[in-house]
Structures are given as structure tokens and as C-alpha cells.
Amino acid sequence: MRTPQRPIHSKFGAGWGAVVCFWKRVFFPLDLADPVSVGAFARQFLAEYDRLHLLFNNAGLMRLPQIMKDKRGYELQLGVNHPGHFRLTGRLWPALKSAGGARVVAYAQSKTANSGACEE
């Protein structure tokens, strides 16, 4: 099993894409703010696995301390949480399709739901 040695270059948007294969976890570097990193992640995944049954896209950036841009020029929170996940899903499409009945889950937690801002 591969284990991550360190997070990759950028402070926000970088991390590890975990691949869970029944009995083991495998980690590949992934920076959703960088299209090159997303492509490299997908190529590495597709070289080792032919099917992907579940892709869980978790919106990971919220309330950054300052306005930052990703490699494409998008505001970082938007670029990571939406186009980054869209690009990742598209690049992994061959494995999702070959799984037959695969699921893609897009999750974003709303802080306002628990903040009391919506209470009557």
C-alpha cells in the first residue's frame, strides 16, 4: 500500500486522492486547482484500475482568508470545488462507464444550515 509522504505544492486545493479497493487504500497526489495534476491523477488511476464504482467529490475549500486564483485563473474556492471536480469526473469517465452502474456523488456542506442563520 502506498502512503502519502507529504502534501503537494499548494497550500489550498492540494492533497491526496484516496482510492479504496475493498481491502486497501492507495494514495495518488491530486491538486484540483491544477488541471495538469488532475490529468496526471486520472492517467495514474486508469493505468492501474479499469473500473471505478464510486466517485465521491467532496467540496473541500470554503471561506479562504483572501482571494486566490487557481492555475486556470478561477477564484480558488470555485475552481477547486466545481470545475476541478467536473474535470476529475470527466477524466475518470472511462473507468466509471466500464464499472456498469457506477455512482458519482457530489457533496458540499452548507455552513449556513448549522449556523442559525436559517432559523425562524
Give the model confidence (pLDDT) of 80-120 as tens digits: 888 888 899 999 999 999 999 999 988 776 554 444 444 44
Residue 6 in any domain: the answer is no
With residue 44 as reference, give the H or E element that holds it: helix 35-48
Please report whether residue 23 resides in a domain.
Answer: yes
Domain-embedded: residue 119: no
Number of domain units in the chain: 1
9-65 confidence digits (pLDDT tens) = 344 445 556 555 555 677 788 888 889 999 999 999 999 889 998 888 886 777 778
Q: Is residue 113 part of a domain?
A: no
Is residue 98 assigned to a domain?
yes
Q: Are 61 and 13 in contact (CB under 8 A)?
A: yes
Would you say residue 115 lies in a domain? no
Q: Which domain holds residue 80?
A: 14-108
Sequence-ordered strand ranges (E) for 22-112: 24-31, 54-58, 103-107
Give the CATH number for residue 49.
3.40.50.720
